[in-house]
Structure 1
């Protein structure tokens, strides 16, 4: 038992001093405040604007990773970049669900970025809570690694099952309990009222469809937090790095949505890749748990994890592009044959 306690304590050493936590949270608050200022006046987001902000939010984690490398060494920096890659790949799937929700609620294009921003803030808050709970669980014993690994392996199995069955991600608004509950207690206007969430109509308060869309986004945030936090704990047990990877992965989602809105539907093999990544990290966590009990058990190095994650993401992108081209060729052949007639 003392050996296990020492193993857990060593694995939970954190680079996040109170000063670093304060600076990071303050910088995050400033960036979110700037985003809220930019979305005060609803407007159509042009590609140039979305690309500019996407590049900015991609440069931030690179700069932060360089700082971590210089201040804490290459091993810690590799953990950060690996965790960031995991969270970014999962956030793209999160973004796809956001896209389905925006479409299901028929959110006007000018209001889409406000909904996305609320969704990002909700995801950050929920993941901060899950990160704290995860750290507490890890402090209580190595069983948490086994639990996290099991969650990820089960999730990966569900993704594979849905992918093999040809089931696409769908959003059934009427099935959401939170939406049904809101409609039961408060009336909902038939149309959007700009960025307003609550209006007064016929002498009583009423929700706008924008409020329902934001609540639906929050509900999906909970589901994604359950998967994403254990996934990054499979890369690093440092709560500060876990929070930083989540924050950097989520910050740029609003701009990235408008860059990838057309490409998201074309990544048909994304769920296959996410299933492989989650299963791999799940196995890594189980081995990490076993190593704490039986030191002779092997562990998967973080650098190897980074290589696997990058290779999987590249592979699913290439296979998706190939499958799309193949379908376009088949469609062209069918159209030519129809044009020729019987």
Structure 2
């Protein structure tokens, strides 16, 4: 197939070719359609189903990374895997916030995965916008690296302070402007009406609590996009790799939520680790900017970044589990 050969023969510079974008978006659309078909009939997700889908969505980025390595070389593959690890670690913290939102809106267990799926679609759309804006900023000059680095360092400080306070203070549904505005604009039913977002009552339309939960998830997606997109641009400048790392990290969130639902509360040191990762990538971006201005300033290699990120995640997981075990021993 001459067309296929021409597509991949040119090397790493063709990673983000129009054809690669078209294929990726098409595959992504098919996967999202599959998710909607799975959640079409509301049901409570069992552990076996959640684990099966989680394995599937973990195999996808692994296969894609191997594909990048085979066709475009190790640089693109290492950037993808590093960015994916960063996005996946940030998405686990996002799941905790989603868990708080689902509890705050008393979302029935059978509808939880539909809310999560709406949140994933919204996050993908927002990430695409932020990625395009980030790419435009990078093309305009190296100052964008300094800006992204500053954003990540400030975010790291906020995440660390939040970790010291505890997750329970992070989400206040009643204070969200989006949900307050919706309640002023349209009436809201007292109970859920299956998977419907809008119903007609008394000759006028009304929102269901499910619609408020979805809007709240969308609102938090905006905050997550502001944090995560600059973090991946700290790993790679290729918008295609930035987009695919975000897409693969988000696709498996619905299933991963039900796998980690019980374990999320035990990862008490996760935010401490995420703060370190964000600060590290922020410093990496600042050094990259400084290297462009003063060549004698060293840069941090992507492979070294991957090592640091993995070590931090493993460390905070082990310390969280050890602290949880220590508390249980004290309780007994």
TM-score, length basis structure 1: 0.92
* 1:239 corresponds to: 239
Partner SS state of residue 126, structure 1? helix
Q: CA deviation at 1:162?
A: 2.5
* 2:219 corresponds to: 219
* 2:287 corresponds to: 287
Q: Distance in 2 between matches of 1:170 and 1:192?
A: 25
* 1:336 corresponds to: none
Q: CA deviation at 1:227?
A: 0.3
- In structure 2, do the counterparts of structure 1 residues 169 and 96 end up closer, same or farther at CA, with 3 Å as the change threshold? farther
Note the alpha carbon deviations across 1:306-338, whole angstroms, 9 max, x for none.
Answer: 000000000000000010011111111xxxxxx
Larger radius of gyration: 1
* 1:68 corresponds to: 68
Kept in 2, the 8 Å contact 1:124–1:246? The answer is yes
Kept in 1, the 8 Å contact 2:162–2:170? The answer is no
* 1:209 corresponds to: 209
**Uncovered stretches (5+) of structure 2, i.e. residues with no partner:** 1-11
Q: CA deviation at 1:17?
A: 0.6
Q: Distance in 1 between matches of 2:300 and 2:97?
A: 31
* 2:81 corresponds to: 81
* 1:162 corresponds to: 162
Kept in 1, the 8 Å contact 2:152–2:282? The answer is yes
The 4+ residue runs of structure 1 with deviation greater than 6 A are none
Note the alpha carbon deviations across 1:175-224, whole angstroms, 9 max, x for none.
Answer: 01011110001000000000000001111100000000000000000000
- In structure 2, do the counterparts of structure 1 residues 163 and 14 end up closer, same or farther at CA, with 3 Å as the change threshold? farther
Kept in 1, the 8 Å contact 2:290–2:297? The answer is yes
| Equivalent runs, 1:58-207 vs 2, <5 Å | 58-166=58-166, 168-207=168-207
* 1:278 corresponds to: 278
Report the count of equivalent residues. 321
Q: Distance in 2 between matches of 1:120 and 1:284?
A: 28
* 2:317 corresponds to: 317
2:37 paired with 1:31: no
RMSD (Å), alpha carbons: 1.2
Partner SS state of residue 43, structure 1? coil
Q: Distance in 1 between matches of 2:31 and 2:25?
A: 10
Kept in 2, the 8 Å contact 1:13–1:238? The answer is no
**Uncovered stretches (5+) of structure 1, i.e. residues with no partner:** 1-11, 333-342
Q: CA deviation at 1:158?
A: 1.2
* 1:265 corresponds to: 265
* 1:19 corresponds to: 19
Q: CA deviation at 1:13?
A: 5.9
